Amino acid sequence: MKVIVKNSCMVQPAQPTWTGTMPLTDFDQTGLLTHIPTFYFYKPSQNWLTQKDTIFTILKTSLSQILVYFYPLAGRLRWLDGARLELDCNGKGIQLVEAQCEANLDDLGDFTPSPKFDSLIPQINYCSPLYEMPLLFVQLTQFKCGGVTLGIAISHAVADGKSAFHFINEWANVARGQPLETEPFLDWKLLRAGETNILSKPCFHHAQFDPPPLLIGELSNENERKKQTTMVTLKLSKIQVEMLKKEANKISHIGHGYSRYEAVVGHMWRSACKARRHIPDQPTRIAVFVDVRPRMQPPLPPKFFGNAIIDVTVTSLSGDVINKPLGYTSSRIREAIDSVTSEYVNSIIDFLKNLKDFSSLQDIHVLKSTGQGPYCGNPNLLAISWIGLPMYGLDFGWGKEIFMAPGTNAVEGESMIMPGHDGDGSVVVVLRLQAACVEDFKKFFYEDI
């Protein structure tokens, strides 16, 4: 799919904004320096023909206006001693690209996440100096049929999924001439950002920073990294989701039962262990992510902008994951999520602040372009949840998208669980697996429901 760039510009805030350096939270320091892409697809609209301004002009003007409120996105990152980062709020702006594609939207099929989508966001050079790299890239691509795609890539170093979608939705409001619903809360000191005094040592063991299990008999994950991988997108209907929840809750001892996320992820973990043909004694780990905003005491503002998620891990033997009831894996996941209390979060902060050099966390700062980012693959998994996030219905004035898709997952074992686009109670799982395991995974994923 050939995409030709017609126009590219740097968009700066429409009004002067606060300038200066902002210390990132310690959670911001522990992620890859990559941008998280999302894609929105729009069919031709009669409204476009009656617009006084072009779509590109509308996007450019509204971006300039919304950056007045979300001004950290117009800044730049820079390194500090100890492989730490800080944000320079300097208003340099974000990159906006206008492109053209000779294909039709229908040529994209069912919009399954694919590497062909990579041309629908600006090409990001991770080898360029960090201080020159925008934190937000946007690309408008016009197709031959008259439809368009909007590719948005936001730096994960300054925004988690909840913050990213807050920004995107407020941007759409501004583009339609509407006022902001809620301004972002930008005081990162609530998560002790910039604090230098270490008040205490960690009071918990934080297993997410331990090396993940390896395949039995292997001394590293190098052999697994080299294997061919592919993306898998699987949809579970509302009925299938309810069946999984019912199965998981057969042994539940909690009043409100396991959530669809806990049931689906437990089922995915079981299917992966089977598809990878693990022996029963194979250790396996799954990492899940928890939003700490409502768990802190006092709770953080709901629109706290930044990274306020942490990962927690569950380790088991593949034989237990496969042979025990689904309620076993769901209960282990629930226990990990419930362990995230305000005390636990502060313990993680203490742990990270006690690190003199963040490079000791191995490859957390390695860029995607090297292909050597954190490996969460065989025998392990990573499960990101976008359930509950306002990811659909993005209207810039020419109607809502016909489809929305995330970018392709970077490494084997990384998965994303999302609600179905139609709001019908279905769930979509996007997962990268070794190609040799894909067909077996699909088979177990559906047959074991």
| Contact partners, residue 234, CB within 8 Å, separation at least 6 | 428, 429, 431, 442, 445, 446
In a 13 Å sphere around the CA of 189, the CA atoms on its Cβ side amount to 5
- Per the annotation, the verdict on 256 as an active-site residue is no
Length of the chain: 449
* Alpha-carbon distance values, 448 to 130, 247, 250, 318, 432 (Å): 46, 11, 16, 16, 20
Residue with tokens 């920004």: 167
* Alpha-carbon distance values, 156 to 48, 162, 182, 222, 307 (Å): 32, 11, 21, 26, 8
**Active-site residue, from 88, 118, 320, 395:** 395
| Contact partners, residue 342, CB within 8 Å, separation at least 6 | 295, 296, 297
Distance CA 394, CA 170 (A): 10
Beta-bridged to residue 314, according to DSSP, are: 286
Distance CA 101, CA 5 (A): 9
Beta-bridged to residue 41, according to DSSP, are: 149, 403
Query: Which residue pairs from 12-16 have beta carbons closer than 8 angstroms and sit at least 24 positions apart in sequence?
Result: 12/64, 12/67, 12/74, 12/91, 12/92, 12/93, 13/64, 13/67, 13/68, 13/71, 13/74, 13/91, 13/93, 14/64, 14/65, 14/67, 14/68, 15/68, 16/91
Nearest to 437 by CA among 285, 215, 283, 277: 277
Element spanning 333, H or E: helix 326-338
Sign of CA dihedral 38, 43, 46, 50: positive
**Active-site residue, from 26, 35, 156, 160:** 156
| Contact partners, residue 225, CB within 8 Å, separation at least 6 | 372, 375, 377, 412
- Per the annotation, the verdict on 395 as an active-site residue is yes
CA-atom Rg of the chain in angstroms: 22
Catalytic residue ranges: 156, 395
